[in-house]
Amino acid sequence: MVNQGLAVHEKAELHEMLVFKTNCLNKSQVMQNMAKDSQLKTLLQQDIQACENNIQMLQKLVNQ
């Protein structure tokens, strides 16, 4: 069977996840700037890195 790429509904769902992860990234970045606790800042930095990785993966999938 030949790979014909993603169906329209699959791309729409990936795009929805991409928008969600982008919003999560923005919120974590804003919260990190506001956070006073060093442990919280570390957790937010880890979340930012994870979100950036997730966004890159989703963008690759959407662009297939």
d(CA 50, CA 47): 5
Per-residue model confidence (pLDDT) at position 41? 96
Note the pLDDT tens digit of each residue in 3-57. Answer: 577 888 999 999 999 999 999 999 999 999 999 999 999 999 999 999 999 999 9
What DSSP character marks residue 22? Answer: H
Long-range contact list for 9-16, CB < 8 A, 24+ apart?
11/62, 14/58, 14/61, 14/62, 15/62
Q: Does residue 1 form part of some domain?
A: no
Host domain of residue 27 = 10-62
Per-residue model confidence (pLDDT) at position 19? 96
Count up the domains in the chain and report the number: 1
Per-residue model confidence (pLDDT) at position 3? 55
Q: Using the predicted structure, report yes or no on whether residue 63 has a pLDDT greater than 50.
A: yes
Neighbours of 45 (CB within 10 A): 14
Q: Does residue 53 form part of some domain?
A: yes
